[in-house]
Homo-oligomer: A and B are copies of this chain.
């Protein structure tokens, strides 16, 4: 156990991790100073090299999904021509929100390095914690109403997917 904490402490001071995290933080600071978007930056690294980076661009692109991590993942996938980023890691200036965490799982990124926490984000008015809290509730207790309909009809697409020889699994 002691060895585990020692290795973890070593990792936090590893110059390479510090370098990439400083890049993500610099993106977050520049984004505020230039009034582009929220104080968030992310960098995707593959084999020790930065392959994509972005800051948050929600307000300037009118895209609610344009968080730093989502954009960095989209740029990284485009760059390597693959939706599978399992040989990549991500450095993000803030603990990912549920949307970005979901995107990280779908991309199969193998490790997350983050700096600010979701509680820090909540303190300056971002909804990350609210969304985490909502996801923890059973659907019927959430603030966002959800209604199911036509499942018998929709399941046909899943049946066709299973039968298709052409499908690309992801």
Q: Does A43 contact B (CB under 8 A)?
A: no
Q: Measured between C-beta atoms, what is the minimum distance from A99 to chain B in Å? A: 3
Q: Does A73 contact B (CB under 8 A)?
A: yes
Which listed residue, B8, B24, B58, B158, touches A124 by the CB 8 Å rule? B158
Q: Mark A42-55, 1 if CB is under 8 A from B, else 0.
A: 00000000000000
- In the complex, the answer to whether A115 meets B151 with C-beta atoms within 8 Å is yes
Size class of the contact patch on chain A: 35 or more
Interface residues of A (CB under 8 A from B): 8, 11-12, 17-18, 21-22, 24-25, 28-29, 31-33, 35, 37-41, 58-59, 62-65, 67, 70, 73-74, 77-78, 81-85, 93-95, 97-117, 120-121, 123-125, 127, 130-132, 134-136, 144-151, 153-158, 160-162, 164, 166-170
Jot down 22 A-B pairs with beta carbons below 8 A, ordered by A.
A12-B149, A29-B157, A32-B167, A37-B168, A39-B157, A40-B157, A59-B168, A62-B78, A63-B83, A64-B108, A97-B102, A98-B98, A98-B99, A99-B100, A100-B102, A105-B144, A106-B131, A112-B144, A114-B146, A117-B148, A120-B158, A124-B158
